[in-house]
Structure 1
């Protein structure tokens, strides 16, 4: 996209309302079509490198594995519209499953690898997953053990479809690696189910798919309760992947390092689909981010592009200070998930040779990116703003009454265009509350300047961003309130030098009960993801409220910051 196009996206009439360019045109294609085009143009080029497992596949070999997996799903009776969950860190099987489900029109359901029992139970049942593809374990999570704990009858089910009272829709569990529990299928066993006849069926099924079909469900949540399943189509994510990688001038000659998680749009859309749209090579340093693995991968593979959230880049810079690597091959990348401090940006430009790194902003419900900087925007603009609007999108900044505010005014960002989700799975009320006349209400407070650069200045909702993870207080509150000794709870974020924000909980104990902060944290472990477990816990007698009885989180936040500051001064 040229800067002339960017200039055309500036606000007009002094109002905070911008429209993206109409070039390049939208692509009316499915995910299988995107992969076919990559194979046709770049079939012998390396597509995937998983350094931890040693897997390296060309685009042609990758497509063959995808077809075997898709045919395996057909053998299990999985078809168009069925939901298939994937619960795993970054592994080759994840990416194969991503494209195999799309090949047959099944809907991929991304399950956060940090999820624990209650979250897994909720996710599988909310969207009615018919099959689950899972890793055996990751870090402290025993995935197979948790599945058996949720549905112990699975272990004795023998061959054939599973049957579980607690997970009534689930029929098949596919386990990555050689070992699978009783009643479960090894991933290699799934591939072995592919017959020539089933593989032949794939092209016939492919002809029935349309770009507007739902193809992916990603869990997100707001202040109103449990996670909601944002439902995205081929059209949504294929086009967003293209435009994101257009902004960094990605080509088939690029080698992209992806340390960000696949379960998130950053990994699977901006990373995988973006690379496939250009025929670029994807390099996965490990199952999860570590600065050592990521830097080693960049150096060994002569990577040209690297993705990450600011905390990842900070960790990589610290590791570089300890041990030098030759990163001179790097050119560009994407930093997203939180604002980037200017000193970090300058060091990434200088010490990592990423002079063309860009910043992105978006949300899962918009596939995800709406704003992105250009590779040659000034450093200040790439730190203080999230860039300018993407093609084929429209954004306005509105006040509490829905009126568009003047340029420079603060208000809620609303996005309209091809990227807006189909809706929240099985939740018409939540969809209607979030999307009005095609406008997605982001819940983020933004400011547009006269050139169309957008700054994110706060959140209408009280979302916490900890190290790039979006955390929704209401979800944690609803879990903590179940504790028998908890009478009331409020969760909010407080500033943190390492993660940007940390989760803090203020707890009111039930009359006659007492609870220790450590006991409350122990209650969370194994039940909710580690990054949602409150880092700070205060037991209080009451909570600051408005006259109408609404909790004043900003008062709690300010008091907590003061308390921590005073404690730090007493214990230097």
Structure 2
């Protein structure tokens, strides 16, 4: 299967994806052609930062980093919420030729230290409000000050540099490396994914082309920038396309201010995980201001499966198409997406077609599956990482001849649309049957009143494993487990129906908003 080229990213209507080569020149086109256009709207006061001002701040920080002794190819950590400091720190480090690792501000000190050591980071840029735990003398406070008069200044308190480390991850950096993103996991299992400027440029061009993002677009940052979803889809694609990103107060998504933020920036779209969409839908009767106040062109969902019933309810409520996308850190985020309505049909349960890369579905023997047959999803192309840093065994398991083996199960239809059916590692083995928890969760979520569901394996002496489930229901819906199970019996095979179902107040989520399956197992799989 051929990998789409940059030329093929031109949409039928004449849209042309931005010509960027990586992080360092992400702003250049806009600074030349639209220097006064707003790039960011930040803080609770919603102060505007133009492209020219943002580029000047990034250049200032780049000079300070080089002046502090950092050299091209050195690694630095970046510990900030979704604030101006994150954006300026990221772009400034890129312009200085550094390799940047965005880190979760909520990481405990021990995990933070483990990640910095594994990376070989020589410094840690820390934004306001981020806890200083575990960073020691390598923590460098970064601050951006804005005024209503339009002035903007950056300050960087450069402290002691950690001595160069030429072992582990640092010894594996290449000339074009720009980012290291860490996948979810505990401190001793988090995998480090190196992404080059070329990976970033291909991802940004693909996202911009898919949604035709341009200077007339604006969005609100919902997803955290230390994960690929928020970083690529919200921040980098918007800036490359010349749009505007509103960074909420304190750099964090808050449901009760979200629609005010949408109106303040005249947002034309936003992207989030299903859990956030469920929250917004649940609060829509009292919070949603209506299509006149928030004229969205589309809404995007990614990072976890979104059940069809929720998707259609969101479209009816918000009056805009909801486009499902599929991506992961190892593919610089987006791998597939549903198209804008004017460019193709939206299909139920589909995450669309490949955007800028090649995709195939492979059986257990390594053969490509015919349409409609389930197998593992493999991807190949310019957005795919080369492997994992300091992880040769994991790289060998997950990367084969340039193809990334995602670990996701799915099937392609005759038109090349991908339908995901679950994760291989999540499968429940009940006797001789393999059960996808994601599929059972989708059925559970279709019951009226169920907000969210988690399905997990219960140990069983006879069958090996049985099916367990925990569901969250709306507070105004008197729903019990017996009614939900009866609903399942008419829609699931007998072996897929949960053997035990609990109605719970809440389910645990990861930092990026997806279901935390490790925590689910610890809480309920007993």
1:106 to 93, 98, 102: 98
1:274 to 237, 243, 248: 237
Is 1:401 paired with 2:365? yes
Match in the other structure for 2:211:
248
The offset of 1:377, in angstroms, is 7.4
Match in the other structure for 2:331:
366
Q: How does 1:93-172 map to 2 (within 5 A)?
A: 93-137=85-129, 143-144=131-132, 146-147=133-134, 154=136, 162=137, 171-172=138-139
Match in the other structure for 1:386:
351
The offset of 1:225, in angstroms, is 6.6
Asked if the contact 1:292/1:316 (under 8 Å) is kept, the reply is no
The offset of 1:271, in angstroms, is 1.4
Q: Which runs of 5+ in 2 are unaligned?
A: 11-16, 146-152, 160-172, 429-436, 470-494, 506-526
Match in the other structure for 1:226:
189
Task: Tell me, in whole angstroms, the C-alpha distance in 1 between the residues paired with 2:125 and 2:502.
Answer: 46
The offset of 1:443, in angstroms, is 0.3
CA change 1:122–1:567 in 2 (3 A) is closer
Match in the other structure for 1:376:
341
Match in the other structure for 2:228:
265
The offset of 1:18, in angstroms, is 7.5
1:5-29 deviations in whole A, cap 9, x for unaligned? xxxxxxxxxxxx6754651389571
Task: Tell me, in whole angstroms, the C-alpha distance in 2 between the residues paired with 1:292 and 1:566.
Answer: 26
Asked if the contact 1:416/1:440 (under 8 Å) is kept, the reply is yes
Q: What TM-score comes out, normalization by structure 1 length?
A: 0.68
376-385 or 331-340: bigger deviation: 376-385
Specify the SS of the correspondent of 1:81: coil
Task: Tell me, in whole angstroms, the C-alpha distance in 1 between the residues paired with 2:500 and 2:372.
Answer: 35
The offset of 1:97, in angstroms, is 1.0
1:341 to 295, 307, 322: 307
1:35-82 deviations in whole A, cap 9, x for unaligned? 111211221100001242533200000000101111111122122111
Task: Tell me, in whole angstroms, the C-alpha distance in 2 between the residues paired with 1:34 and 1:339.
Answer: 31
Asked if the contact 2:210/2:355 (under 8 Å) is kept, the reply is no
Asked if the contact 2:375/2:411 (under 8 Å) is kept, the reply is yes
1:113-151 deviations in whole A, cap 9, x for unaligned? 33223321221111112111224546xxxx12x23xxx6
319-328 or 292-301: bigger deviation: 319-328
1:52 to 34, 38, 44: 44
The offset of 1:219, in angstroms, is 0.8
Is 1:215 paired with 2:178? yes
Q: Which runs of 5+ in 1 are unaligned?
A: 1-16, 155-161, 163-170, 179-186, 194-209, 465-491, 507-542
The offset of 1:463, in angstroms, is 9.4
The offset of 1:309, in angstroms, is 1.4
1:378-407 deviations in whole A, cap 9, x for unaligned? 99945410001112x111111111111111
Match in the other structure for 1:468:
none
Match in the other structure for 1:439:
403
The offset of 1:175, in angstroms, is 5.1
Pairs aligned (count): 434
Task: Tell me, in whole angstroms, the C-alpha distance in 1 between the residues paired with 2:123 and 2:291.
Answer: 42
The offset of 1:453, in angstroms, is 0.5
Asked if the contact 1:219/1:227 (under 8 Å) is kept, the reply is yes
CA change 1:358–1:448 in 2 (3 A) is same
Task: Tell me, in whole angstroms, the C-alpha distance in 1 between the residues paired with 2:226 and 2:453.
Answer: 22
Q: How does 1:537-548 map to 2 (within 5 A)?
A: 543-544=459-460
Task: Tell me, in whole angstroms, the C-alpha distance in 2 between the residues paired with 1:223 and 1:395.
Answer: 30
The offset of 1:289, in angstroms, is 1.7
CA root-mean-square deviation: 3.6
Match in the other structure for 1:23:
8
The offset of 1:192, in angstroms, is 9.7
Q: How does 1:530-569 map to 2 (within 5 A)?
A: 543-544=459-460, 562-565=499-502
Is 1:298 paired with 2:262? yes
Is 1:418 paired with 2:382? yes
Q: How does 1:510-525 map to 2 (within 5 A)?
A: none
CA change 1:559–1:450 in 2 (3 A) is closer
Q: What TM-score comes out, normalization by structure 2 length?
A: 0.74
Task: Tell me, in whole angstroms, the C-alpha distance in 2 between the residues paired with 1:74 and 1:553.
Answer: 56
1:360-393 deviations in whole A, cap 9, x for unaligned? 10110011111111111799945410001112x1
Task: Tell me, in whole angstroms, the C-alpha distance in 1 between the residues paired with 2:77 and 2:415.
Answer: 42
Asked if the contact 1:214/1:422 (under 8 Å) is kept, the reply is no
2:61 to 69, 73, 91: 69
Asked if the contact 2:9/2:205 (under 8 Å) is kept, the reply is no
2:413 to 445, 449, 456: 449
Q: How does 1:468-507 map to 2 (within 5 A)?
A: 495=441, 500=452, 502=454
CA change 1:97–1:231 in 2 (3 A) is same
Specify the SS of the correspondent of 2:499: helix
The structure showing larger relative contact order (alpha-carbon pairs under 8 Å, at least 6 residues apart) is 1
Specify the SS of the correspondent of 1:43: coil
CA change 1:136–1:58 in 2 (3 A) is closer
CA change 1:215–1:19 in 2 (3 A) is closer
Asked if the contact 1:69/1:96 (under 8 Å) is kept, the reply is yes
1:208-232 deviations in whole A, cap 9, x for unaligned? xx99711111111589970100110
Task: Tell me, in whole angstroms, the C-alpha distance in 1 between the residues paired with 2:455 and 2:412.
Answer: 29
Specify the SS of the correspondent of 2:261: helix
